A and B are shown apart, each in its own frame.
Chain A
Amino acid sequence: MSEFVDECRREWKRLRVPDPIANEMAADLAADLQEAEAEGASPEQVLGSEAFDPRSFAASWAAARGVMARPRVAVVRPLHLHSWPVRSAIAAGVSIATIFVGLAIVTVRRGSTSVATASPAAVRQPGPSGGVFLRQFGFGAGPPARLILGFGLVVLLVGIVGLVLWSVYWSPWADPIRSGRRRSSIDDGLGGPGF
């Protein structure tokens, strides 16, 4: 009969019945079965039809006492635009995209500026259309190019600041309180008197 009790113990462990309660139930059951055996009574006379199904017996006893932890069910919620993960992902995406745009503008403008700076030396060579060539490049390397470069730097800066703010407030490793997330408590499902 100790095999029956052991099987019950395994089932209670699986059902996350607190150890002190499982030990108490196992001790009571073992004592009753031992007494019945000493008196020549069959396990069926103690346990009824459940004498042949220890797992079912253990589960129904634990459930009746209200000492079984509720199974943790993974709830799959649809993603909404207002949900925290979506907003965080959007913020990160926008920040990174802004950084890339800024980098692209700065890189392209720097390239064209260096060409324009080198161009006047190249066009100093004698030639019939040298003056025109110099004027064309002079126009390309003028104030509008520096303006675009500055704009690119601003965009880059905005992207970096956005990414820093995201990592501080909204990233998965940010403080949950600052990021507006609430800590959730897990109900262990214990109930009933004394628990």
Chain B
Amino acid sequence: MATNERRRTELLRGVLDLCLLAVMQEGPAYGYEMTKRLRARGLSIVGEGSIYPLLGRLERDGLVETHRAASNGGPPRKYYQASREGRQTLADGVSEWRAARDAVDAVLGPVGTEVSP
């Protein structure tokens, strides 16, 4: 089980930034809001690293723009949205992901998930 978790972590690590940029396409979001959007699509970060350092890196690299605004009844939050460069990075990343996924599927697709005794 530990090996499976580690593999999942490794697989996610390479694409989590793309996932964040993708959920920002729905509209500007603050940290926890993005976590909820990911979870709504079946991607839980439980067991993975936090998204905050990733958001920090995206901000530092100029892939997201931020602004501070009041949330629903709560304190002002920092909202993130993909910049033009971020959208381009997302488009390039999705192409790469699809190509890699198809190549891996071609190898792993025929392999059964049941192991005979």
Contacts and interface: CB of A to CB of B under 8 A. Distances in A.
Interface of A: 24-25, 27-29, 31-32, 34-36, 42, 44-51, 57, 60-66, 191-193
Contact of B32 (A32, A50, A65, A192): A32
A46 B47 contact: no
Nearest to B44: A45
Interface of B: 30-32, 35, 39, 44-57, 59-60, 62, 71, 74-75, 77-78
A34 B44 CA distance: 19
A63 B32 contact: no
Given A28-B77, A36-B32, A193 B47 contact: no
B56 A32 contact: no
A65 B73 CA distance: 28
A193 B46 contact: no
B77 A31 contact: yes
Nearest to A32: B32
A142 B97 CA distance: 103
A48 to B, nearest CB: 4
B44 to A, nearest CB: 7
Nearest to A59: B53
A4 to B, nearest CB: 11
Contact of A64 (B35, B39, B47, B60): B60
B49 A48 contact: yes
Top 6 nearest A-B pairs (CB, nearest first) are A65-B56, A64-B56, A32-B32, A64-B53, A192-B60, A64-B57
Given A49-B47, A65-B59, 7 more contacts: A29-B31, A44-B46, A45-B39, A45-B46, A46-B32, A48-B50, A61-B56
